[in-house]
Amino acid sequence: MPFVKRQFHVEKPTKAFLYIMKKLNFTQGEAQRLIAKGRVLINGESIYNTGATIEGDIELVYFEPKSRGVKPIFVDKNFLVYDKPSGILVHPNTMATEYSMLDEVRTHSGQNANGVHRIDMETSGLFLASRNKNAEHFLKSSFEKKVINKTYLAWVKGELTEPFIVEEPIKVRKDYTHNKHKVEISKDGKYAKTEFIPLEYDKELDTTLVECRPLTGRLHQIRIHLFYLKYPILGDPIYGTCFEITNRYLDGTITPKERFINTGATRLMLHANSLNFVYNNRFIIYSNVDFIHSKSEICEKDKRV
């Protein structure tokens, strides 16, 4: 498990951050951030004073990455790019999360490396991570300023033939009593714009491969815009099926077969395909995954519920 709790004995009074730097090979900044998060415990109680002196028995809780062999597809001195497989979180949800892309990022580039944006767990494709704190600040700021352009590929239900644009405001929902959608189209929401370009139609599966270009960065933007137009992404367990199936998916009680026939695919058929941004130089990076061949994960039309 990436987050570990270990006991140590401090022989003589020592600044906590100095002890952590020596024991864990952390920088001063990393050690002080660990303390500020309450990850240093004495008698079971967290300390938060980054200048505190410690002595005797202590416990340290810290992230210890465990790689599963996912390698970056592009390495720069300031950042890494991965082709994230579907089903993997980009960052631990809790301290009990067994594995995420952060394990790979920090195994490769150390404790100062970090992911700089979010991708849904079931979405596959390009994931950008910084290798140092300056790069992290720059890249996160670039995402906030909308100067990093992304494209996605999606297999959607039905036939689409012409390019189109959706400009519908998106609002985060708070009541999930009758609907498990995390967001909805609402005049009270935030402005959102997505461009869609149909690329290929498979008549036998009744599905269209669509290139999606989100020009704003709202939660579940591509998924809700396609659902709103009644062309949901195949395999979507939140926006592409009924309340009961969604609820069982979220509870973890749905079987793979039930998921397959009720949502139309083994997974959310959405893939982050390209990144276009400037960091000293212009970078245009494409996924190495041939997403067209992912059609093998789609349920036959006449077998879908």
Residue 120 is a catalytic residue: yes
**At 62, phi and psi to the nearest 5?**
-150, 165
The strand order across the sheet containing 3-15 reads 3-15, 53-63, 40-42, 45-47
Considering the candidates 120, 175, 202, 290, report the single residue annotated as catalytic: 120
Residues 226, 232: contact at Cβ < 8 Å? yes
With a CB cutoff of 8 Å and minimum separation 6, the contacts of 268 are 86, 120, 122, 123, 223, 233, 235, 236, 237
Query: Where are any strands of DSSP class E within 92-230?
Result: 114-115, 124-130, 149-157, 164-167, 170-172, 183-185, 193-202, 207-214
How far CA 192 is from CA of 154, 197, 218, 258, in Å, comes to 18, 17, 7, 33
Rg (CA), the chain: 22
**Rounded-to-integer distance, Cα 149 and Cα 293, Å:** 25
Handedness of CA 61, 63, 66, 68 (dihedral sign): positive
Which residues are marked as active site? 120
